[in-house]
C-alpha cells in the first residue's frame, strides 16, 4: 500500500531485495532520529499468477501447483486443497490417510518453526542459535526425506488420500529423531527465556495486546502470543484433528519473546501429537477413489499452516478444471501488525519485528483489492513497546 | 548458555569429522523412496494416456503407433519433470516407476533431456508384423 502524502522526517527505503529475510518486500520507514514514526509496506514482487494458472489445469495437476505456493509449508497447501476438493466431490479420505496427513503436517510444522527460530535468531545477531537450530532441523528434514523421498515438496497427498504409508523402520527412525529434538527444544526454550543479550532484543519489543491483535486480524502463533484463541486445529478441527485433538498454546505477553515461547512450545505439542497418532494409527486403505470431474459447487477449506490460518476457496463448475481457486496465506493477515508495531521502536528493531510474524513474502503475493476503511485502523491507536 | 554445554559441544566438535560430505567422491545412499528419473516398462502399457493427462508439467508424451500390437512410444522430458510421482499413481498397469538410483540428471545439452522410450525386445518382430498390415 502506498501513501502519497508528504511525511515529516527522514524516509529510509528498505528492500525490495531481502529486507530481513531472503525474500522480496519493500518497506519505506520514516524515522525521527532512530525512532520509527511511520512504515509503508509494498508487496507483490513475487507475484506468480498461480490462481489464474490453476484455472487452466485439471484438478489433479493443480495439486502440484498449489504445493508450490510455498516451499516451507508445501504439505499444508496441498492438504487444504485436497480437503476442499474432496468435500466438493463428496469423497472422504480413509482414516489412515487422514492420520498420515496430519502427521506430516505436524512434521512440517516442526521443520518450519525450527527454521524460523534460526532466522529470527540470526536477525537478532545470535548466529550460534541460528546454526544450532538449523543443524537440528536437519533431523526433521531427514525424517521427511525418508518418508517421501524428498526434502521439500514431499508430494505426500493425492486427491482422496496419501501416497505413502508408514512402516516400522521409518517409525523407529522418526521416534529417535523426535526424542533428540525434544531435548533440543527444551534447551532452546531455556535459551530464549534466559539469555540476557537475547532478551534485550525480544522482551517488551513489538508488544501487541489482545484487542490490538484481534483488530489487526492477526493469525497463527503471532496472534496466540497475544493470547488470542485462534488456531483452526482447535477452533474448527479438520481431518484427523477431530480424533487427535491438540491443545492450544497461548501466551499473555504479546511481545517478541512471547512469539518465541509460543512457537517453541508448539513444537512440544507437535511431538506429543505425532506420538499419539503413532499409538492409535487407524488401519485401512491409503486412498479413496476420486472422480475426474468434480460436482458443481463451491467450498471453503481452512487449515492451520505453521504461520497461521490458511484459507482456500474452491469453486467448481462440474468440469475437470476448477472455475476459481482463491488462496489466502497467513502472512498477508499478519503484515499489518508489522506496520503498526514498528512505530515507536528503534529502526534496528524493525527486522526483528518483521521476522517475529514469520513472514513468507512469495506465498502472500496475490492480486486483490482492498476497500480501505480507515476507521478500523484508527481504532487500533499507537502501539508502543 | 551454560558453560558446560558449550565445552561439551567444543570437545565433541574437535574430534568429530565434518558433517558435510565430499561429493562427488563420496555419495550418500539415497532414501528408498527417492524420486529420480522416470522409467517406463513398455510390456504392460495399454496406451490409456492417463499418465499424460495427469502430469502437472507436461513431461510425458505418448505416441500410439498401433494399439492392437501395443506399439507405443513414450517421450519423457526430463527437464520438465518435477518428480511428483503422480504419473506412477495414475498408471493402473504399474508400468511407470521413478528410479531410486538415477538422480544425477544434470546435462549440458538440451537433447540429453528428451528421452525416448520404446519397446526394446519386441522391436524387430513387431515392426515386421505391422508392415504387411500397413501395406
Ligand atoms: S513425476 Fe510428475 S512431473 Fe514427472 S512425469 Fe510423472 S507426473 Fe509428470
Ligand atoms: S498410464 Fe500407464 S498404461 Fe496408461 S499410457 Fe501411461 S504408462 Fe501406459
CATH code, domain carrying B94: 3.30.70.3270
Which numbered atom of ligand 2 lies nearest the CA of B50?
Answer: 1
pLDDT in tens, A222-271: 999 999 999 999 999 999 999 999 999 999 999 999 999 999 999 999 99
Per-residue pLDDT tens digits for A50-94 = 889 999 999 999 999 999 998 888 999 999 999 999 999 999 999
C-alpha cell, B45: 502399457
Ligand 2 in reach of B91 Cβ (< 6 A): yes
Mean pLDDT score, A204-222 = 91
Residue B43 in domain? yes
**pLDDT number for residue B120:** 60
Structure confidence at residue A372 (pLDDT): 63
Closest chain B CA to residue A197: B1
What values do phi and psi take at A40, rounded to 5?
A: -115, 140
Three-state SS annotation for A216-229: CCCCHHHHHCCCCC
A146 and B31 within 8 Å at the Cβ level: the answer is yes
| Residue B127 pLDDT level (bands cut at 50, 70, 90) | very low
- The B residues from 1 to 20 touching A (CB cutoff 8 Å) are 1, 5, 19
Question: What is residue A378's predicted lDDT score, i.e. its pLDDT?
Answer: 55
Give the residue, by CA position, lying nearest to ligand 1 atom 6.
B87
| Residue A374 distance to chain B (closest CA, Å) | 43
Specify the pTM.
0.89
To the question of domain A50-329 being in CATH 3.30.300.30, the answer is no
DSSP A294: P
Please answer whether residues A221 and A251 qualify as being in contact, where contact means their C-beta atoms are separated by less than 8 angstroms.
no
Give me ligand 2 centre to Cα B65, in Å: 14
Q: Is residue B4 part of a domain?
A: no
Looking at chain B, the whole-number percentage of residues with pLDDT higher than 90 is 31
B86 near A CB under 8 A: yes
To test the pocket of ligand 2, the residue of B38, B39, B40, B49 to mutate (highest count of ligand atoms within 8 Å of its CB) is B49
Indicate if the pLDDT at residue B119 is higher than 80. Answer: no
Domain that holds residue B48: 37-99+109-120
Domain residue extents for chain A: 50-329
Residue B85 lies in a domain: yes
- Out of A18-22, A127-131, B27-31, B113-117, pick the least confident: A18-22
A135/B84 Cβ within 8 A: no
Are residues B56 and A58 in contact, defined by beta-carbon separation less than 8 angstroms? no
In a domain? residue B51: yes
Angle at A208 between CA A352 and CA A241, to 5 degrees: 90
Residue B113 placed within a domain = yes
pLDDT tens profile B33-76: 999 999 998 888 888 899 999 999 999 999 888 888 888 889 99
> Cα–Cα distance between A91 and A24 in angstroms, integer?
39
**Ligand 2 site, residue B48, Cβ cutoff 6 A:** yes
Residues A33-54 pLDDT 10s: 889 999 988 888 888 888 899 9
Q: Chain B residue closest to A184 (CA)?
A: B5
How is residue A83 written as a grid cell?
A: 480437503
Q: What is the pLDDT of residue A208?
A: 92
Q: What is the number of domains present in chain B?
A: 1
Is residue B124's pLDDT more than 70? no
What pLDDT, on the 0 to 100 scale, is given for residue A63?
93
Out of B5, B35, B54, name the one closest to residue A61 (CB).
B54
* Predicted local distance difference test score (pLDDT) of residue A118: 93
B29 CB within 8 Å of a chain A CB: no
Eight-class DSSP state of A244: S
For residues A175 and A364, give the distance between their C-alpha atoms in angstroms, rounded to a whole number.
Answer: 34
Burial classification of residue A76, based on how many CB atoms lie within 10 Å of its CB (0-12 exposed, 13-18 middle, 19 or more buried): buried
Amino acid at each position: 500500500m502506498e501513501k502519497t502524502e508528504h511525511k515529516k522526517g527522514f524516509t529510509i527505503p528498505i528492500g525490495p531485495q531481502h529486507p530481513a529475510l531472503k525474500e522480496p518486500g519493500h518497506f519505506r520507514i520514516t524515522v525521527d532520529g532512530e525512532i520509527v514514526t511511520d512504515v509503508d509496506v509494498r508487496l507483490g514482487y513475487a507475484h506468480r499468477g498461480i490462481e489464474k494458472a490453476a484455472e487452466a489445469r485439471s484438478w489433479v495437476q493443480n495439486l502440484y501447483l498449489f504445493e508450490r505456493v510455498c516451499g516451507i509449508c508445501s504439505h499444508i497447501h496441498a492438504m487444504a486443497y485436497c480437503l476442499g476438493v474432496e468435500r466438493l466431490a463428496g469423497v472422504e479420505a480413509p482414516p489412515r490417510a487422514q492420520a498420515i496427513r496430519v502427521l506430516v503436517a505436524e512434521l512440517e510444522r516442526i521443520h518450519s518453526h525450527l527454521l524460523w527460530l534460526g532466522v529470527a535468531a540470526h536477525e537478532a545477531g545470535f548466529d550460534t542459535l541460528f546454526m544450532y537450530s538449523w543443524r537440528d532441523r536437519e533431523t526433521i528434514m531427514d525424517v521427511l526425506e525418508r518418508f517421501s523421498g524428498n526434502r521439500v515438496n514431499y508430494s505426500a497427498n493425492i486427491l482422496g488420500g496419501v501416497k505413502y504409508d508408514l512402516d516400522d523402520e521409518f517409525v523407529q527412525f522418526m521416534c529417535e529423531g523426535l526424542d533428540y529434538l525434544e531435548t533440543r527444544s527444551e534447551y532452546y526454550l531455556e535459551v530464549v527465556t534466559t539469555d540476557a543479550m537475547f532478551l534485550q532484543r525480544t522482551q517488551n519489543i513489538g508488544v501487541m495486546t489482545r484487542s490490538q491483535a484481534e483488530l489487526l486480524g492477526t493469525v497463527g502463533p503471532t496472534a496466540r502470543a497475544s493470547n488470542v484463541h485462534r488456531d483452526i486445529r482447535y477452533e474448527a478441527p479438520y481431518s484427523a484433528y477431530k480424533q487427535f485433538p491438540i491443545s492450544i498454546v497461548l501466551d499473555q505477553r504479546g511481545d517478541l519473546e512471547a512469539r518465541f515461547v509460543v512457537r517453541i512450545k508448539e513444537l512440544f505439542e507437535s511431538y506429543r501429537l505425532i506420538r499419539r497418532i503413532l499409538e492409535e494409527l487407524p488401519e485401512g486403505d491409503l486412498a479413496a477413489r476420486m472422480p475426474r470431474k468434480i460436482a458443481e459447487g463451491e467450498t471453503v477449506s481452512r487449515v492451520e499452516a505453521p504461520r497461521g490460518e490458511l484459507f482456500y476457496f474452491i469453486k467448481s463448475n462440474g468440469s475437470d478444471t476448477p472455475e476459481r481457486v482463491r488462496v489466502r496465506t497467513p502472512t498477508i493477515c499478519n503484515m499489518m501488525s508489522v506496520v503498526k508495531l514498528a512505530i515507536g521502536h528503534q529502526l534496528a528493531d524493525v527486522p526483528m519485528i518483521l521476522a517475529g510474524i514469520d513472514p513468507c513474502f512469495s506465498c502472500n503475493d496475490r492480486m486483490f483489492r482492498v476497500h480501505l476503511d480507515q476507521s478500523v485502523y484508527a481504532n487500533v491507536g499507537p502501539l508502543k513497546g | 548458555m551454560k558453560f558446560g554445554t558449550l565445552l561439551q559441544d567444543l570437545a565433541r566438535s574437535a574430534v568429530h569429522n565434518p558433517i558435510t560430505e565430499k561429493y562427488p567422491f563420496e555419495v550418500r545412499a539415497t532414501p528408498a523412496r527417492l524420486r529420480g528419473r522416470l522409467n517406463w516398462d513398455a510390456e504392460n502399457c495399454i496406451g490409456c494416456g492417463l499418465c499424460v493427462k495427469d502430469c502437472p508439467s507436461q513431461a510425458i508424451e505418448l505416441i500410439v503407433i498401433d494399439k492392437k500390437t501395443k506399439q507405443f512410444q513414450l517421450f519423457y522430458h526430463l527437464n520438465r519433470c518435477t518428480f511428483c510421482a503422480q504419473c506412477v499413481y495414475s498408471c493402473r498397469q504399474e508400468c511407470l516407476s521413478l528410479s531410486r538410483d538415477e538422480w544425477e540428471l544434470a546435462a549440458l545439452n538440451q537433447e540429453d533431456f528428451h528421452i525416448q522410450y520404446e519397446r526394446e525386445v519386441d522391436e524387430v518382430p513387431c515392426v515386421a508384423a505391422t508392415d504387411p498390415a500397413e501395406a
